[in-house]
Amino acid sequence: MAFAEPEQNINQFMIPLGARVADLGAGSGVYSIVAARAIGPSGTVLSVEVQKDMATRLQKVAHTEGLNNIEVIWGDIERLGGTKIRDMSIDAAIVSNVLFQIEDRRGFISELKRILKPGGKVLVIDWADSYSGMGPKPEALVPEQDVRILFEKRNMMFEQSISAGDHHYGLIFRNT
């Protein structure tokens, strides 16, 4: 597998049916769509995106695909309260290919912890390397070990690594 495979990654994350999921930095919404199918119509995916045009596009795709369990939020994942999601209301969060773009990682983790329920899980997928001009520049990469330190310092317990593709790593953390 050459690049991150959302279906395989979500399957490894094992989100229960009916879960309330946040896709932080949803972008085009690939993970939101896969997660919405995985949790079924009784669950909800809150897709947070800072770029208004991407949020609008995702809303249209969700509607076209008949996924009524996706709610798109135009919000800021780096600022406390910026996601507009209620405190401790999220069972699972997805953070895919965004860490290398985040300037305020501490602010991001604070917002993530605010919205996650105690025991809530986080799936982090990010670039392990730059590949033929795809992904971030080498100096922008966030190494897997740095992510573990960042999350663990904020009382997020590392649970496991997942196979996320040839050029990505995948980590699962639990909110304590």
Supply the pLDDT for residue 166: 85
107-143 pLDDT tens trace: 999 999 999 999 999 999 999 987 777 788 888 899 9
47-71 pLDDT tens trace: 999 999 999 999 999 999 999 999 9
- Residue 3's pLDDT band, with cuts at 50, 70 and 90, is low
Distance CA 86, CA 169 (A): 29
Instruction: Name the DSSP letter for residue 68.
Output: T
Instruction: Name the DSSP letter for residue 85.
Output: P
The more confident residue out of 167 and 47 is: 47
Supply the pLDDT for residue 156: 97
What class does CATH assign to 6-175?
alpha beta
